[in-house]
Chains A and B, each alone.
Chain A
Amino acid sequence: MPSPLPCPPDPPDLAPAREGPVWTAVALGLSLPVLITLAVVLWRTPYPVSEAVALFEDAARFPPSHFLAGDTAYYRPLYHLALGWIWRHAGPLDVRLAWVTALHVVPVVVLVVALVVHLRPRSAGEAGAAALAAAVLVGSPGLRDNLEIPLAYTAVGMPLALLAWMLLTGRRRPWTGAAVLALAVVAVGFKEQGLVIVPLVLVAWATRAPGASRALLVALLAATVAYLAFRVASREHWDGFEQAVGIGFREIEPREANARFGAFPYPVYAYNAAATMASVLFSEPTRGVFGITWMIGQRQARPWEYLHLLSSLALTTLIAWWCVDRLRATVRAGWAWSPESRAALALAGVLLACGALSFNYSRDRLGGMAAPFYAASAYFAVRAAADRALAASRARLVATGLLLCALGVAWQMRAIGTIEYSRFVAARNQFEWLTQPASRRKDFADRPVYLDIMNAMVAQGVVPDAPRPTRYPHWATRLISLPWDTNICSSVADGTCWPR
C-alpha cells in the first residue's frame, strides 16, 4: 500500500465555508423539483408492450439457473434473477409491477441525491454548482437513454459506481474493500457496463485514495479476469456486430456491418468506442450517427440541437481546462493527488472504459456509467472557474458569471427535456397498448404465458392519466428534444414536436 502523501490544496472556496449540511440541503432542494417530477413520471409510465412482456414471460417461465448460463451476448444474470424473484414472490400483478418500477426509479433518485451529497457544497456558489451538476446528470444523454422502464440494467449500475467512488475516496473503514467489491459484483451482474468500477478502483489505488487498497485491486482484477474468461468460454460463437452500427451520417444493419467489416472489424470497433465517449462529452454522435452535425450542414437544425451541442461543447471545454489545471497542480506538487485531480483522472478512466465496453455498437445509454463522473467534474470545473474569476478584473468576473449562468440555463433546460422525453416515452408506450394487442394475440398465439401476461397488463397500459408531454409555449418546446411521432405530436413548421 503506497503511503499517503500530502495533497496540494484544491482551489479556495467560492465563499467562506459554512459548516453543516445547509448548502447541501439547498442544492438538493433546488434539484428536487426536477428529480421528483422525473420520478413521478417514471412511476406512472406504462410498461412498453415490446421487451417488457417478453422479459416478464422469461421471469415466469424459467428457473433462476437459466439466467446464470453465459451463452448469450447480453449477460445480465442479477437483473433477471431480481425480476424473477419479484415475479414469483411479490404477490398480485400490480404489486409485482410496482416493485419492478421501483427497481428502476429508486436507483435514479439515489444517483442524483448521492451526487449532491458526494459534492458536499459548502457555500451558495457551490450549491449552485452542485445543482448545475445534478442538471448535467439528469440532462445527459447517458441517463436519458437509461430511463426506459423496465430496462434498469445501467440505471442500477450508475449509482453503484458513484457509491463505489465515494467509498474509495472517503475514509477507509474495515469493510470498505468488501463493500466496493460487492458493489462491483452487483453492477456487473446487472450489466457488463458495471466493469467501469475496475478502472475506478485502479485510479483510486494509483492516486492513493484513502479507501483504495492493493488487496481490493488484486481481488477485483482477479474477479474481472474470471468473469471475462467465463464469458468467452461460455459463448461458442460471437458475431462481429450484434446490433445496428452508426457510421458517419447513417446507420447500417448488423447483417450489412458483418458483411462489410466482419473480416477486420477493429477500425469500426474503435469508431464505436470513440462515438460513445464523444456522446458523453459532446452529445454527438448518437448511436454513432452525427445527426445534429448533418442537420446543421443542411441548415435544418432545430434550437434544441444547437442547445445540446453547444452546452456540451462549452461544459466539456470547461472540464478539459479544469482537468489540465488540476493535473498540472498535481505534477507541480510532486504527484501528490488531491480529491479534484483524482476526480479528473476518474472521469478519464470511466470514459475510456465506457468506450471500450461499447466497441460492438455505440448507444447513448452505454455512456451512462460515465455520466455521474462527468457531472461531478462539471461541479469542480464550475467551482474552479468561479474561484479564478474572483481574483480577476471586474469585467472578467461579470463575463465569467454570465457564462456560467448561461451554462446553467442550458443544462436546466436539458434536464427538463429529460422529463418531457420520459413523458413522450410514456405516451408512446400507451399508444402501443392501445393498438398492438390484436396483432400480438395473433403473432404470439403459440406463447400462452406471453399472452396471459400481456392480457393482464392491458389495464396498466391504457390508464387514462398516463403521462403525456407538456404543452409548453412554442419557444420552450423548441428547446426540448422530442422525437417526431404523429400520434403524440402535432405539426409545427420546423418539425418540432408540439404535443397534441
Chain B
Amino acid sequence: MGYEHLQLRRRRHLLAALILAPAAAAALALTVAEVNNGVRRARRPSATALPLADAMAEGDLRSAYAAIAGGLSPNDPIPAYRPDLTGESAMLVSPVLWAVALQNRDAVLMLLSHGARLSDQDRRRAACLARELGNDDIARAIAEYGGGTAEPPDCAVDPADVRPPLVRWSDAEAGSR
C-alpha cells in the first residue's frame, strides 16, 4: 500500500509538472521580456534624436513625426544630403519636397496631416518632382490633399538641365524665396 501510494504520488507529480511547466515558463519568459522591453525603451534615445530628413530617408515615420512634435516646423527648410538626390553637397530643402524626392508617400501625407502648408508654387514643384520621378501616387496625393486646385500643373523643364530633379526643383524654390 505504502509503495503503491508513493508510486502514484510520483506519477502525479511528474504529470502535474509537465502540465504546469509551459504555463510557468511562459509566465516567466513574458515577465522577463516585458521588463527588458521597458528597460530598453527607457534607455533608448528619444525618437526626436533622429533629424527629420534622416527619419524620412529611413522610412521611420514615428521619428519624423516626433521631430515635428518636438517643435520643428514642417514648413521650414531642412538640411538634406543623399548623393543620388542632392548631388555632392548637402542642401536646404522643404520637408515635403524631400519626402517627394524620397518617394515616401506616407511621409508626404504625414507632413500634410500635421501642419505642412503648400503655396501654389510649392505644390507645383512637389507635384512636378513626383511626376518626373514617375510617382503618380504622390503627385495625386499632393494635388488632392495639398490644398489649392486639382488642376495638373505645368511641369515643363529645360531639357539642357541635367542636374538631379530635386536640385533642379529646389533651386527654383530657392530662387523664389
Contacts from A to B (Cβ < 8 Å): 14-15, 27, 29-34, 37, 123-125, 127-129, 131-132, 135, 382, 386, 389-390, 394, 397-398, 400-402, 404-405, 408-409, 411-413, 415-416, 419, 430-431, 434-439, 441-442, 458, 462, 464-465, 470, 472, 487, 500
Would you mind naming 30 contact pairs between A and B with Cβ atoms under 8 Å apart?
A: A15-B16, A30-B23, A31-B27, A32-B27, A33-B31, A37-B30, A125-B15, A125-B16, A131-B20, A132-B23, A397-B14, A405-B18, A405-B22, A409-B25, A412-B22, A412-B23, A413-B26, A416-B30, A431-B61, A434-B109, A434-B113, A435-B61, A435-B106, A436-B113, A438-B109, A439-B144, A464-B62, A470-B37, A472-B33, A487-B59
A437-B16 in contact (CB<8A): no
Closest Cβ neighbor of A439 among chain B residues:
B145
Q: Which of A382, A413, A437, A442 interacts with B19 by CB under 8 Å?
A: A382
A37 touches B34 (CB 8 A): yes
Total A-B Cβ pairs within 8 A: 143
Distance to closest chain A CB from B139 (angstroms): 15
- Given B11, B27, B106, B145, which contacts A397 in the complex, CB threshold below 8 Å? B11
Q: Contacts of A27 on B, CB cut-off 8 Å?
A: 23
Q: How far is the CA of A490 from the CA of B109 in the complex (A)?
A: 21
> Cβ of A412 and Cβ of B25 under 8 Å apart?
yes
**What's the nearest-Cβ distance from chain B to residue A322, in Å?**
15
With A31-B23, A408-B23 already in contact, the answer to whether A439 and B30 are too (CB < 8 A) is no
**Which DSSP category, helix, strand, loop or mixed, fits chain A's interface?**
helix
Q: Which residues of B contact A125 (CB under 8 A)?
A: 12, 15-16, 19-20
Interface size on B, residues (CB 8 A): 41
Main secondary structure of the interface of B (DSSP, over half): helix
Most buried by A among B22, B106, B109: B22
The residue on A at minimum CB distance from B105 is A435
Q: Do B30 and A128 have beta carbons less than 8 Å apart?
A: no
A46 to B66, CA, bound (A): 16
B23 and A135 form a contact (CB under 8 A): yes
Given A405-B18, A435-B106, A435-B113, 8 extra CB contacts under 8 A? A14-B15, A14-B16, A37-B30, A125-B19, A401-B19, A402-B18, A439-B109, A464-B69
Given known contacts A404-B19, A436-B109, A442-B145, is B12 in contact with A15 (CB within 8 Å)? Answer: yes
Q: Which residues of B approach A to under 8 Å, CB–CB?
A: 8, 11-27, 30-31, 33-34, 37, 41, 46-47, 59-62, 65-66, 69, 106, 109-110, 112-114, 144-145
Candidates B20, B34, B65; contact of A462 at CB < 8 Å: B65
Distance in Å: Cβ of A73 to nearest Cβ of chain B: 32
CB distance from B70 to the nearest CB of A (A): 10
Q: How far is the CB of B50 from chain A (nearest CB, A)?
A: 12
Contact B18 A34 (CB under 8 A): no
Measured between beta carbons, the chain A residues less than 8 angstroms from B15 are: 14, 125, 386, 389-390, 397, 400-401, 404
Q: How far is the CA of A436 from the CA of B23 in the complex (A)?
A: 41
Checking B31, B65, B144 against A434 with a beta-carbon cut-off of 8 angstroms, the contacting residue is: B65
Residues of A within 8 A of B109 (CB): 434-436, 438-439
Q: How far is the CA of A442 from the CA of B144 in the complex (A)?
A: 8
Q: Which of B41, B62, B113 is in CB contact (< 8 Å) with A438?
A: B113
A416 to B27, CA, bound (A): 10
Q: Which residue of A lies closest to B64 (CB)?
A: A434
Decide yes or no: A33 and B12 within 8 Å by CB, A408-B19, A434-B110, A439-B109 being known contacts: no
- B-chain residues with CB within 8 Å of residue A131 when the two chains form the complex: 20, 23
C-alpha spacing A405/B144, complex, angstroms: 57
Which residues of A have CB within 8 Å of B24?
30
- Per the bound structure, the CA–CA distance linking A34 and B47 in Å amounts to 28
Whether the pair A33, B65 counts as a contact (CB closer than 8 A) is no
A34 to B24, CA, bound (A): 11
Known: A33-B31, A436-B113, A464-B66. A132 touches B61 (CB 8 A): no
Q: How far is the CB of A364 from chain B (nearest CB, A)?
A: 22
In the complex the two chains form, is A132's CB within 8 Å of B22's CB?
A: yes
Query: Using Cβ atoms and an 8 Å threshold, which residues of chain B touch A29?
Result: 27
**Bound-complex Cα distance A394 to B30 (A):** 33
Cα distance A375–B106 in the bound complex, in angstroms: 42
Nearest chain B CB to A12 CB, angstrom units: 11
